[in-house]
Amino acid sequence: MSDSINTYLDKSMQEIASQLVDIAKQSGAAHADALSIIDTGESMDVRHGKLESIEREDSRGIGLRAFIDTGKGLAFASASTSDVSEKGLKQLAEQVVNMANISEPDPDAMPPIGAEHPSADELIAWQVKHPHQAHGWSTEQAKEAALSCEAAALAYSDKISNSEGASASFGETSIAYAASDGFVAGYERASSSLSISVIAGEGESMQRDYAYTRARIAAELRNPAEVGQEASERTLRLLGASGLSSRTTTVVFEPRIATSILSHLVSAINGRAILQKRSFLNDAVNEEIFPHFIHISDNPDHPEGMGNRLFDGEGTHCSARNIIESGKLTGFLTDRYAAKRLGTKPTGHARRGLTGDTGIGTSNLILQPGSEDLHAILHDIHDGVLITELMGFGINGVTGDYSRGAAGFLIENGKISRPVQEFTIASNLKDMFANISHIGNDLTWFGSMAVPSIAIANMTIAGQS
Amino acid sequence: MNLSTLPSALPIAPEILQKMLNAMIPADADDADLYLQHSISESLSLEEGRVKHVSASTAQGIGARVIKGEVSGHAYTDRFETAALMDAAKAARAIAANGHIKKPLAVRPLASPHSLYLNENPMQQVDLAQRKALLEHIDQLARSIDPRVQQVFANVSASFSHIHIIRMDGAHLSDERPLIRLNVSVVVEENGKRETGGAGGGGRFDLTRLIDTNEAERLTREAVRIAILNLDAKAAPAGSMPVVLGSGWPGILLHEAIGHGLEGDFNRKGSSVFAGKLGQRVAAKGVTVIDDGTILDRRGSLNFDDEGTATQRNILIEDGILTGYMQDKQNARLMGAAPTGNGRRESYADPIQPRMTNTFMLAGKDKPDNILASLDEGIYAVNFGGGQVDITSGKFVFTTSEAYYVKNGEIQYPVKGATLIGMGHEVLQKVSMIGDDLALDPGVGTCGKGGQSVPVGVGLPTIRVDELTVGGTEA
C-alpha cells in the first residue's frame, strides 16, 4: 500500500497544509498552523489456523489552529476535518476564526511564529539518515506470519487450551506541518506489528497472557514462532495462581510493567500539569526524587526507538535530554506556552492532535539499565512479589497516591515460588520513586520506551487475609 | 424503492452507494452492510479562570463490511471519490473465496424502531458564547463555595452524529445521535496539601438542559465537596473485608465484574470465565442484572445498534441465574441465538463488537441505612473512577474516588482512593443485601474494548458485598 498515500490527491499534504495557513490568514487569523495526518494500512486476525477478520484503513485529516489579535492579547481555537477540498479548507478556516473570537485572549499565548525550527540542512540530513522505508509486508505475508505465530503458540504445550488469535498489522503514516512563519515540513513513518494471546486451563482456572513485537518494517520484527512461544510460556506459568496474604514488601516490576512507572513520571513533570498545580512533583526541580543510580533520558533519534522525530508538534527542534540525572529531576517537559509561563526554554515536547490544545509527550524514553540480572535481583530481595500484570487506573496525579490491581509471582527465599493473583499493590509515587532498590540489566524496548526490571521496596500488598 | 429515494442528507450519491453494494457482496455471504457517518463535535475548556480554548471536529466516512461464517472483512475510507469508495468495497469482499456476486438489492427505507432521544443537533439552541458563559459561571461559583479552591477546570462538549446503515437485506436505517457532557474538576489546597475532586454528567439531550436546570451548579458543588473531603482522607485499609457500594455510578462493578464476560464474542470463543454457564447460578438469590439500550435520553441508549438491530431490554442474570449473553449479529448466528441489539462500533472506521448499553441491577427491598448499619467493619464506597477486567480469569478492579471507613455501622472517616479487586464469577454470589434505591449514573461512562470507546451507562441500588479485597496502604 506504500504507493497509495497520495493516490487520490493531486497536491502533497505539505502544500495543502501551507495553503490552509494562507486561507486562515485571509479569513482574519493573525497567525495559524496546520497539521495533517494520513494513515493507510491493513490489519488481520487469525484464530485456530484460519483467517478471522481483515481490515483495511484509509483515513486522512487536517487540523488548523488559528490565533486572532483581540487588542488584549491573542485568542485561539482549533478544528479538524477530513474534507481537504478548497471549499472544505475555506469552511474550516472560517469556523476556526469564528471560534477563536469566542476564546478569551491570553497574554502569554504563543502563536506559531519564531519557534526554534530545524534548519533546512538539518531537515535534509534527517531525511538522509532516516530514508522513507516501506513496511515491507503484503497481506499474504502478514497472514502467514500471524498463522505461524499462532501455530507455534498452540504447539508449545498440550496445556494451551484455547487461542484468542494472532493479529498482524502494517501501515504507513504521513505527517505534514506548516506554520505561519513559513516553516513547512513533513515525514512518513512505517509500522508493523504482530501479537498473540492464548489461554491455558479450563473453566474457572483459565489464565491468559500475550506477547507482541512491533517495528517500523516487517523485516525487523521478531520471529513469529518465538513470539508465539513467549505468549504460551507466559500463560502456562500463571496456571494454578492463587491469592496471597496482605503484607508490606519489595515489589519487582518486570520490564513490560515497569514502563508504567516512566509514564507516571512523564505525567507528573508535564509542564502544563505543573502550571495547573496538578502534579505531586510541582516543586521538585533539582530535587533528588530517585536514588542516585537512576538515569532517565529522552532521545528523539535512537536506532531502536519508534518515537524518532526531528521536530515536535509546534515545529520546535527536538534534541536528546537527560530528564533524571543521578536521581535528580533536571526540569519539566514543555511546549512553547508552558516554557514561557515557567520561564524556561521549550524542551521540544509539544504533542498535537488534529484538534484540541497542545499536550506534552516524549520521543524515546530510556531508563539506563543496571548491572544485575533478574536472578541476582530476586536473590538479593529474598522475599517479595514479582509483578507481571497491572490492572486499573488507581493513580492520583495531584497527590501521587497509587493503588492498582496486580498479578505475578511470590518470591520466597530469593526464588520464584508460585503464581499469585487477586491482590493490590499500593503506595505513593513519590515514595515509590525514592524506594527503588534495584535496576535490572534486562533493558527491553516497547515501541518508544526502553526499560529494565525495577524493584521497589516498601509497597503494601492487600490480599485475601 | 431504490437508493434514489434515500434522504438527501446522504453525503455520497445514492447511485455510487448502489454501485458499491453491487460490487461487494459475495453470493455466499452471511451478512454485509455499509455504514455511513457524518459527525460534528465541539468542545470548550476553561482553566485558570478563562475559556482559553475552543475546539471542533468534523468527521465523515464510510465502512464497508462483509461476513461469512466466522470471517469478516472490513474496509473504510473518508475519501468520497468514487475510486476510493470502490477500493473500499472491493477490499471488504476480499475475504470471499469465489468471485460470484450477490444480485443487486432493492434498497428500502426502514423506520427506526425507537425514538429515544432528540433527533436534532443538541448544540443549536446554545451558542458558543452561552457555553462559555456557563463555564465562567462554574469557575466563579466554585471559587465562591470555598476559598481553598485553587484551580477550576470545566469542559462542555457536544457531538451530533448522523448515521446511515444499509443492510444486506436492503433495509436503510438512519439515526441522529446527540451526545453532550459537562465535566467540572477542582484542585483545592490547605496548608500546602493539595487534593482534587470532580463530577460530570450528560446524556443524549440538548445543551439547553444544562442551562435551564441547576445541573451545572450541582456538579460544581459536588466537585468541590469531594476535593475538600479528600483533604482529610486517611489511608484506606489493606485486605479483604465487607464493602457497601452506594447507588448509581458504583454500578461500574456490574460493567467490569460480569458485563464484559457476558459479551457474545468472548463466550463463542470460550475465552470468558462465564462461557457455558447459561442456566447456572452466578449470583446470589435476589440479584437481577439487566442491559437495556432503550432508556430515554441515556448516554448508553440507541434507537438501534450499529448493525441496524433494534435495541432492547435484555435480562443477563435473573434471581442469580445466568440467562443471556449480549450479542451482535455474527456471534448470535454462530451461537444459534438471536441478536440482542448490542452490536456497536466507535465509528465507521472500526469493526462491530458485542458491547454493553446501560447495565444495572434491579432494586431489592433493603433500606440503604440498614445496609450501612450492617457493616461491623469495612468500607462504604459511593463514587469510583475507572475499572478494568480480565474476562478469562475473571479478575476485575475498580478504584474509589469517594469512600469511607466504617466501624459498628457508623462512618468514621473518608479514605484515600483505593483499588478494589475481586473475581467476576464470585463477587455477585457474595451480595447479601440489596437496597430499594436503584439509581442510574449521571451520564459519564465510556467503555473501552479492543481499542474502541463507546458511551455506556451503569446503575446500582445500594448493596452489601460480604467480601472484597481493598487495596489501601493501612495494613
Residue B98's pLDDT is 67
Pairwise CA distance, residues A244 & A421, whole Å: 8
Residue B7's pLDDT is 43
* Chain A residues 16-35 within an 8 A CB cutoff of chain B: none
Strand duo A296-298 + B321-322: pairing = unpaired
Inter-chain residue contact A81 with B55, CB threshold 8 Å: no
User: Which residues of chain B carry a pLDDT beneath 50?
Assistant: 1-8
Inter-chain residue contact A404 with B51, CB threshold 8 Å: no
Q: Helix B82-92 crosses helix B14-24 at what angle (to 10 degrees)?
A: 30
Inter-chain residue contact B83 with A8, CB threshold 8 Å: yes
What pLDDT band is residue A83 in, cutting at 50, 70 and 90?
A: confident
Judge contact between B449 and B455, C-beta under 8 A. no
For B167-179, the pLDDT digits (tens) are 998 899 999 999 9
Judge contact between A334 and A349, C-beta under 8 A. yes
Could you count the other beta carbons within 10 Å of the beta carbon of residue B50?
17
DSSP-assigned beta bridge partners for residue B19: none
Percent of chain A with pLDDT over 90: 92
Residue of A312, A216, A222 lying closest to A271 (CA atoms): A312
ipTM: 0.94
For A296-331, the pLDDT digits (tens) are 999 999 999 999 999 999 999 999 999 999 999 999
| H, E, C per residue of chain A | CCCCCCCCCCCCHHHHHHHHHHHHHHCCCCEEEEEEEEEEEEEEEEECCEEEEEEEEEEEEEEEEEEEECCCCEEEEEEEECCCCHHHHHHHHHHHHHHHCCCCCECCCCCCCCCCCCCHHHHHHHHHHCCCCCCCCCHHHHHHHHHHHHHHHHHCCCCEEEEEEEEEEEEEEEEEEEECCCCEEEEEEEEEEEEEEEEECCHHHCEEEEEEEEECCHHHCCCHHHHHHHHHHHHHCCCCCECCCCEEEEEEECHHHHHHHHHHHHHHCEHHHHHCCCCCCCCCCCCECCCCCCCEEECCCCCCCCCCCCECCCCCECCCEEEEECCEECCCECCHHHHHHHCCCCCCCEECCCCCCCEECCCCEEECCCCECHHHHHHHHCCEEEEEEEECCCECCCCCEEEEEEEEEEEECCEEEEEEEEEEEEEEHHHHHHCEEEEECCCEECCCEEECCEEEEEEEEECCC
Does A7 have pLDDT greater than 80?
Answer: no
Among A11, A104, A139, A430, pick the best mutation site for testing chain B contact (most B Cβ within 10 A): A104
Among B260, B395, B425, B447, pick the best mutation site for testing chain A contact (most A Cβ within 10 A): B395
Could you count the other beta carbons within 10 Å of the beta carbon of residue B16?
18
What pLDDT band is residue A163 in, cutting at 50, 70 and 90?
A: very high
Pairwise CA distance, residues A63 & A78, whole Å: 7
A124–B contact, CB cutoff 8 A: no
Backbone torsion region of residue A435, taken as left when φ is above 0, otherwise alpha when ψ lies between -120 and 50, otherwise beta: alpha
Nearest CA in chain B to A205: B393
Residue of A404, A452, A396, A464 lying closest to A252 (CA atoms): A452
Judge contact between B28 and A51, C-beta under 8 A. no
A76–B contact, CB cutoff 8 A: yes
Residue of B379, B369, B370, B373 lying closest to B233 (CA atoms): B379
Residue of A290, A237, A259, A292 lying closest to A418 (CA atoms): A237
For A18-44, the pLDDT digits (tens) are 999 999 999 999 999 999 999 999 999
Report the gap between the CA of B384 and the closest CA in chain A (Å): 10
Nine-digit cell at A218? Answer: 516487517
Mean pLDDT (chain A) is 95
Does A396 have pLDDT greater than 60?
Answer: yes
Report the gap between the CA of A273 and the closest CA in chain B (Å): 11
For A239-262, the pLDDT digits (tens) are 999 999 999 999 999 999 999 999
Strand duo A384-391 + A247-253: pairing = parallel
- Chain B partners within 8 Å of A246 (Cβ): 238-239, 475
- The more confidently predicted of residues B6 and A94 is A94
Domain residue spans of chain A? 241-465
Residue A8's pLDDT is 44
Q: What angle do CA B327, B329, B330 make, to 5 degrees?
A: 100
